[in-house]
């Protein structure tokens, strides 16, 4: 069979599994989830052995320490996957819930009901825990899932998926509810993204290049998880102690993630007081600062920020800093260079807060809090499959509800249209 035929067959199996999944009640799904977790726990040593193969190959291929760290599975990380699956089992099942209901003048009763999306394909890189997390979320929402992880993690991903499958099937998980693409051929990604009628949604998670390649090829709807160029704007009315604390947290608490701050905008009216303190505090924590001329005039140790800096996601201890004349200029900067992910204002003035939250068009807009809170767990969703930077269907953290769609069920007594 050609790759094309292989993938179509995989899509057909996923479709059949999706229909079988729609018949499972919540309790059955939760039993399956716990059985998946049990089996994962039981196979810890075997999974670490398979992960060792990936690590060895990655080391000889010369992957960076950061990537090696993302790939590594430890007892603690496997335990976290197990806990994650059990946590998903404990969440409320959104499927079947009535979203709304109304009766028309002609007597038709319209019920809008939450249903699974169907078949979801996840294209991801590096971190093998995504295999367990997304399988659990898709199972809970009665969606069949096709997993296409990174080549560098193939042994780990297959070992994890097999544990989940063997555990789940013992409790009645439909055959093919969870399928792993085992070929490392890049063409498989393109095939998946073009399987209209078999795949209902593709979620690419990873680098910009991967996401762009999927969007470019796709006929199937895609929810993109692009980068986060997140801003903190310190208003003239800011509590400067709070601003220092939020800036430090947004930049330093975990710089390698999409909700970390990349650019700090400071109102000119407080820059003289604020910037030297900020520079001292962040420099002491190892942060490299790159400023516009007005910023550098107040904190001379800063490097000069180039035009490119404003649209760079550093994912590192680097921060670009711009002094702006007013709030409108901050909003303008965010519209021009931001990625519509997470942006914050630090301000005591309520008019400034209102203007910022109204005008900044991002998934999450914060008043007096760190951008680092954009996360399914922190939002109280219990789990997340990622953070959408798209505006359609799901925006920001995607939890269980965002993995569902709806249908209208209409009850009549023989009504016809006049």
Q: How far is the CB of 308 from its own copies (least distance, A)?
A: 17
| Cβ pair 164, 39 in contact under 8 A | yes
Q: Is 357 one of the binding residues for its own copies (CB under 8 A)?
A: yes
Q: Is 117 one of the binding residues for its own copies (CB under 8 A)?
A: yes
Q: Going by C-beta distance under 8 Å and a sequence separation of 6 or more, which residues neighbour residue 5? A: none
Opening angle at CA 309, ends 207 and 328, nearest 5: 110
Task: Give the separation between CA 154 and CA 391, rounded to whole angstroms.
Answer: 32
Q: Going by C-beta distance under 8 Å and a sequence separation of 6 or more, which residues neighbour residue 17? A: 144, 174, 175, 176, 177
| Cβ pair 125, 207 in contact under 8 A | yes
Q: How far is the CB of 346 from its own copies (least distance, A)?
A: 8
Interface residue with its own copies, options 4, 34, 77, 359 (CB under 8 A): 359
Q: How far is the CB of 238 from its own copies (least distance, A)?
A: 10
Interface residue with its own copies, options 62, 65, 76, 414 (CB under 8 A): 414
> Cα 269 to chain center, whole Å?
36
Q: Is 280 one of the binding residues for its own copies (CB under 8 A)?
A: no
* Span from 115-123, 160-168, 263-271, 275-283 in contact with its own copies (CB under 8 A): 115-123
Q: Is 380 one of the binding residues for its own copies (CB under 8 A)?
A: yes
| Cβ pair 3, 185 in contact under 8 A | yes
Buried residues in 112-146 as b, exposed as e (16+ CB within 10 A): ebbbbbbbbbbbbbbbbbbbbbbbbbbbbbbbbbb
| Complex with its own copies: residue 165 or 356, whichever CB lies closer | 356
Q: Is 411 one of the binding residues for its own copies (CB under 8 A)?
A: yes
The tokens describing 402, both together, are: 């965002």
Q: Is 372 one of the binding residues for its own copies (CB under 8 A)?
A: yes
Interface residue with its own copies, options 32, 158, 363, 383 (CB under 8 A): 363
Interface residue with its own copies, options 115, 268, 297, 317 (CB under 8 A): 115
Q: Is 175 one of the binding residues for its own copies (CB under 8 A)?
A: no
Query: Residues 18-57 vs its own copies: string with x where CB under 8 A?
Result: -x--x-----------------------------------
Task: Give the separation between CA 50 and CA 221, rounded to whole angstroms.
Answer: 33
| Complex with its own copies: residue 203 or 289, whichever CB lies closer | 203
Q: How far is the CB of 406 from its own copies (least distance, A)?
A: 6
Task: Give the separation between CA 281 and CA 294, rounded to whole angstroms.
Answer: 19
In this structure, the strands spanning 288-291 and 303-304 are parallel
* Span from 6-14, 77-85, 108-116, 163-171 in contact with its own copies (CB under 8 A): 108-116
Task: Give the separation between CA 328 and CA 189, rounded to whole angstroms.
Answer: 42
* Span from 146-154, 157-165, 182-190, 390-398 in contact with its own copies (CB under 8 A): 390-398
Residues 207-246 that bind its own copies (CB under 8 A): 215-216, 218-219, 221-223, 239, 242, 245-246
In this structure, the strands spanning 288-291 and 318-324 are parallel
Task: Give the separation between CA 259 and CA 261, rounded to whole angstroms.
Answer: 6
Instruction: With CA atoms as reference, report the closest residue to 206 among 152, 144, 155.
Output: 152
Q: How far is the CB of 48 from its own copies (least distance, A)?
A: 29
Interface residue with its own copies, options 253, 293, 303, 351 (CB under 8 A): 253
* Span from 81-89, 174-182, 185-193, 377-385 in contact with its own copies (CB under 8 A): 377-385
Q: How far is the CB of 219 from its own copies (least distance, A)?
A: 5
The tokens describing 45, both together, are: 């040593």
| Cβ pair 356, 346 in contact under 8 A | no
For its own copies, the binding residues (CB under 8 A) are 19, 22, 102, 104, 108, 110, 115, 117-118, 196, 200-201, 215-216, 218-219, 221-223, 239, 242, 245-246, 248-250, 253, 335, 357-359, 361-370, 372-374, 378-380, 390-393, 395-396, 405-417
């Amino acid at each position: 069979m050609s790759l094309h035929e292989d993938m179509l067959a995989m899509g057909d199996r996923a479709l059949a599994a999706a229909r079988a999944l729609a018949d499972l009640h919540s309790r059955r799904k939760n039993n399956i989830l716990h059985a998946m977790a049990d089996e994962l726990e039981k196979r810890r040593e075997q999974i670490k052995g398979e992960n060792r193969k990936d690590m060895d190959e990655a080391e000889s291929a010369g992957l960076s320490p950061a990537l090696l760290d993302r790939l590594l599975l430890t007892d603690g990380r496997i335990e976290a996957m197990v806990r994650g699956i059990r946590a998903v089992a404990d969440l409320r099942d959104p499927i079947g819930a009535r979203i709304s209901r109304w009766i028309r003048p002609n007597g038709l009763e319209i019920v809008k009901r939450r249903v699974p999306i169907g078949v979801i394909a996840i294209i991801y890189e590096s971190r093998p825990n995504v295999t367990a997390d997304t399988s659990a979320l898709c199972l809970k929402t009665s969606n069949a899932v096709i997993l296409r992880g990174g080549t560098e993690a193939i042994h780990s991903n297959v070992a994890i998926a097999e544990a989940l499958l063997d555990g789940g099937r013992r409790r009645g998980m439909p055959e093919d509810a969870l399928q792993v693409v085992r070929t490392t051929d890049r063409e498989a990604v393109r095939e998946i993204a073009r399987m209209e009628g078999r795949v209902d949604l593709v979620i690419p998670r990873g680098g910009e290049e991967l996401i762009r390649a999927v969007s470019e090829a796709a006929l199937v709807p895609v929810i993109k998880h692009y980068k986060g160029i997140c801003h903190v704007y310190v208003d003239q009315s800011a509590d400067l102690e709070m601003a220092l604390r939020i800036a430090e947290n947004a930049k330093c608490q975990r710089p390698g993630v999409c909700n970390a701050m990349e650019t700090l905008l400071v109102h000119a009216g407080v820059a003289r007081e604020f910037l030297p303190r900020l520079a001292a505090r962040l420099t002491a924590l190892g942060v490299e600062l790159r400023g516009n001329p007005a910023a550098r005039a107040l904190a001379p140790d800063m490097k000069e920020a180039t035009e490119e800096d404003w649209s760079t996601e550093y994912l590192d201890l680097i921060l670009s800093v711009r002094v702006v004349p007013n709030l409108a200029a901050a909003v303008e900067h965010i519209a021009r260079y931001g990625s519509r992910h997470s942006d914050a204002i630090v301000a005591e003035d309520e008019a400034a807060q209102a203007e910022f939250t109204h005008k900044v068009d991002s998934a999450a807009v914060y008043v007096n809090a760190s951008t680092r809170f954009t996360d399914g767990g922190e939002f109280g969703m219990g789990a997340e499959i990622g953070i959408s930077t798209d505006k359609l269907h799901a925006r920001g953290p995607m939890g269980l509800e965002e993995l569902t769609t709806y249908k209208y069920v209409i009850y009549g007594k023989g009504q016809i249209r006049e």
